[in-house]
Amino acid sequence: MITNLLSRALMMSTPLLLGSIAEVIAERSGMMVTAIEGIFLMGAWGGFVGTYITGSVSIGILTAMLFGAIAAAIYGFVCIFLKQHQVVTGTAINILAAGFCTYFQRVLFGVPTSPLKINPLGKIPIPVLSDIPFIGTIFFEQNILTYIVYLIIPVSYFVLYHTAVGLMIRSTGENPEAVDVAGINVNKVRFSVVLVAGLFGGLAGAFYSVGYLGMFTNNIIGGRGWIAFAICFLGNWNPKGAAVGAVIFGFAEAIAIYMQSIGGGEYFPNELFIALPYILTIVLTVSRKNFNVPAQLGIPYIKGN
């Protein structure tokens, strides 16, 4: 039972990890990706449509990443090059993404009598490793997206802290003038980073449609993009912190699903478990004291100011 629960927790933390790492990388450069909820949704829809139409999960996942990147590109263009407010622009993108997905879902598939289904990603046990008792089942019997995340955490940590590119990204968020003087185009750095966040976010969205449920509904994301956004804050803008945060939230979701499945509703209302991750976010936001906020977070760079 406990293995099952932990394995489920790791699975549910996959998209949150992807989303929060995307957010960490972007916010380190000074860009709050407040469009993350919309990017997740575009990814979920793109993944579903790509898979449903072509029958290939790989194409579906690529479509998801592409759609996530498109939403991020619009967001980045308005915020970086037109220097508009990030929270406001993000909200607009989120509304637009919701409208876009619902509209084209209806245009492509009409109003089907039974929900359209695709085969969700299967679990791939890794030979040898999955035979390790306890740990093997938890860590090495997951779907492909979780394995991708295993790679993304150390790679993003390494890139961010041990490479010139990482230094450039972090400096852009702390002191864009210095970056500019060094001959690097601040806006280009930020835009590229937002695009990467879009690719990751799209992949995260695909987890819900392609990787887990095997279908698309309008409220499939239901605020999880915002949770990823919160995890980035709570993890102190660090991939390691984000990883810990995402696993905690994944665990909360796994418990919610588990309690519902064993009929915990008799003692506690189901809604309490559904609200659990959100309550947890509020509690953690309140209790977190020291923040290492990137100095230029949310502030557009205007040359010669």
Query: What is the pattern of x (binds another protein, CB under 8 A) and - over residues 151-190?
Result: ----------------------------------------
For position 192 contacting another protein by CB under 8 A, the verdict is no
Contact stretch for another protein (CB under 8 A) within 42-50, 52-60, 170-178, 272-280: 272-280
Residue ranges of alpha helices (H) inside 55-143 are: 57-76, 86-109, 135-140
C-beta of 125 vs 223, nearer to another protein: 223
CB of residue 144 to another protein, shortest distance in Å: 29
C-beta of 172 vs 281, nearer to another protein: 281
Q: Which residues within the stretch 101-140 sit at the binding site for another protein (CB under 8 A)?
A: 102-103, 106-107
Q: CA–CA separation, 66 vs 75, rounded Å?
A: 14
C-beta of 59 vs 274, nearer to another protein: 274
Contact 172, 190 (CB under 8 A): yes
Q: Which residues within the stretch 227-256 sit at the binding site for another protein (CB under 8 A)?
A: 229-230, 233
For position 296 contacting another protein by CB under 8 A, the verdict is no
For position 264 contacting another protein by CB under 8 A, the verdict is no
C-beta of 107 vs 181, nearer to another protein: 107
SS3 192: helix
Ranges of beta strands (E only) in 147-301 are none
Query: What is the pattern of x (binds another protein, CB under 8 A) and - over residues 26-65?
Result: ----------------------------------------
Between the CA of residue 212 and those of 47, 195, 280, what are the distances in Å?
Answer: 12, 25, 23
Report the residue from 271, 292, 304, 305 that binds another protein according to the rule CB under 8 A: 271
Report the residue from 24, 97, 194, 199 that binds another protein according to the rule CB under 8 A: 97
Within a 10 A sphere around the Cβ of 145, how many other Cβ atoms? 21
Whose CA is closest to 159, among 11, 24, 6?
24
DSSP at 175? -
Contact stretch for another protein (CB under 8 A) within 41-49, 127-135, 149-157, 224-232: 224-232
Q: CA–CA separation, 234 vs 192, rounded Å?
A: 24
Report the residue from 25, 36, 64, 98 that binds another protein according to the rule CB under 8 A: 98
Whose CA is closest to 156, among 270, 271, 29?
29
C-beta of 77 vs 147, nearer to another protein: 77
Whose CA is closest to 297, among 123, 141, 209, 173?
173
Between the CA of residue 38 and those of 144, 284, 303, what are the distances in Å?
Answer: 23, 24, 30
Contact 182, 47 (CB under 8 A): no
Rg (CA), the chain: 19
Applying CB under 8 A, the residues found at the interface with another protein are 74, 78, 82-85, 87-89, 91-100, 102-103, 106-107, 222-223, 226, 229-230, 233, 269, 271-272, 274-275, 278-279, 281-282, 285-287
